[in-house]
Structure 1
Amino acid sequence: MRAIVSTARLWMREVLPQDAPVMFAMNNDPEVMRFTGDRPFPSLAAAETFIRAYPDYQLNGFGRWAVILKGEEVPIGWCGLKRHTDGMIDLGYRLVRPHWGNGYATEASHACLDWGFQRVDIHEVLGRTARENRASVRVLEKIGMRYWRSEPCEGIPDSLIYRIRRSDPR
């Protein structure tokens, strides 16, 4: 499969059913899931079913993409934009723990933002994180997002909401 987005060290493509083992393991790592508000997949089959039914690529032309190291084929996580039912678009990312701390989340997030602002009629993107998730706050700030407000969000009672607009300097 071809890359949708490519950076110096990464390439991204749609998440495929064969990625289910990585996504299942990642979503069942308590440390990875600690600040997400999401529930783990109950089984590998459930992860595969979720991937097969994921509607965002067809509905919006974008979604959460598999993040893969250049020269590799197996994802190290996912990153991408998501359009919610209220029209809001957020940027999300999640990586397997062995790849934390290498700047991959920042690199992938920056590339996804650029792609969204250049290829799709997107004017604003939000980033949401738990207040305690300092690493995620740093990613959002490094890609040019600025703190906007705090509110409960998808199982996280004290979420920080960051945002960036297409017209903002990056």
Structure 2
Amino acid sequence: MQHHLTTERLVLNSVTPADAGFVLELVNTPGWLKFIGDRQVHDLAAAEAYAQKMSNTENANSWVVRLRDGKTPIGVVSFLQRDYLEYRDIGFAFLPGYGKQGYAFEAASAVLNSLMEEGSYPCIYATTLPGNVNSIQLLEKLGLHYERMIRVGEEDLRLYAIKK
């Protein structure tokens, strides 16, 4: 799995605890809180711990998405093994000021293409809340297809998949 990817406008690098300031900002945006949930990351120490958890481990890979200048972080793309899914799940979140500009599609496409070329993943899942229209549209644009509704805890989620 590649830990560094570049696109025409973006640079993606593995999340590290050094990204804690950005992580703190991102996980407290209205979109994150509404569609992903409050992860109780309200100070820099908690953000460092959360960034460490997001870091590359056996079952979790996350990339900070930066503008090509390499300095301006704008979002994250994750690839995680969730305990309620058979296959790994791709996810994404971006700061509000960077929506509707194609950055999420560009970054998620780079990750998906890298994973599919690697050949280790016959199927990749994604989940989203039924009301998250932007996420649904992006998943479909990325080539994922709606599979079914799943129940996780108290939430109903739409399950999407892309197969090799």
The Cα of 1:23 is off from its aligned counterpart by 0.9
Q: Hey, what does 2:122 align to over in structure 1? A: 123
Matches within 5 A, 1:136-151: 136-151=135-150
- Matching of residue 14 in structure 1 with residue 18 in structure 2: no
Matched residue, 2:63: 65
Residues 49-98 of structure 1: CA deviation (Å, up to 9, x unaligned):
2223445x2425x6111011101323211003112346520001011111
Relative to structure 1, the CA distance from residue 8 to residue 67 in structure 2 (aligned partners, 3 Å threshold; closer, same or farther) is same
Alignment-mate amino acid for residue 152 of structure 1? R
Q: Corresponding residue for 2:106? A: 107
Query: Matches of 2:3 and 2:53 in 1, distance apart?
Result: 21
Q: Deviations over 1:6-51 (max 9, x none)?
A: 1111111111222111110111122332111342413211011222
Distance in structure 2 (CA, Å) of the matches to 1:142 and 1:128: 15
| 2-structure distance, mates of 1:136, 1:53 | 23
Amino acid in structure 1 at the alignment position of 2:43: S
**TM-score normalised by structure 2 residue count:** 0.88
Name the counterpart of 1:95: 94
1:94 and 1:149 map into 2 onto residues whose CA distance is 22
- Find the residue that maps to 2:162 and give its secondary structure: strand
C-alpha separation between the residues in 1 aligned to 2:39 and 2:50? 13
Runs of 4+ in 1 over 6 A off after TM superposition: none
* Identical columns (%): 28
Once structures 1 and 2 are overlaid, which stretch shifts more, 95-104 or 70-79?
70-79
Distance, in Å, in 2 between the alignment partners of 1:90 and 1:67 is 18
Alpha-carbon distance in structure 1 between the residues aligned to 2:122 and 2:41: 33
TM-score normalized by structure 1?
Answer: 0.85
Unmatched segments (≥5 aa) in structure 2: none
1:36 match: 36
**Cα 1:37–1:105 shift into 2, 3 Å:** same
Q: Return the alpha-carbon distance in structure 2 between the equivalents of residues 41 and 17 of structure 1.
A: 13
Could you say what the CA RMSD is over the residues aligned between the two structures, in angstroms? Answer: 2.1
Higher deviation after alignment, 97-106 or 39-48 = 39-48
Cα distance, 1:53–1:160 mapped onto 2, change above 3 Å: closer
Count of residue pairs the alignment pairs up: 162
SS at match of 1:114: helix
CA contact (8 A) 1:32 1:97 kept: no
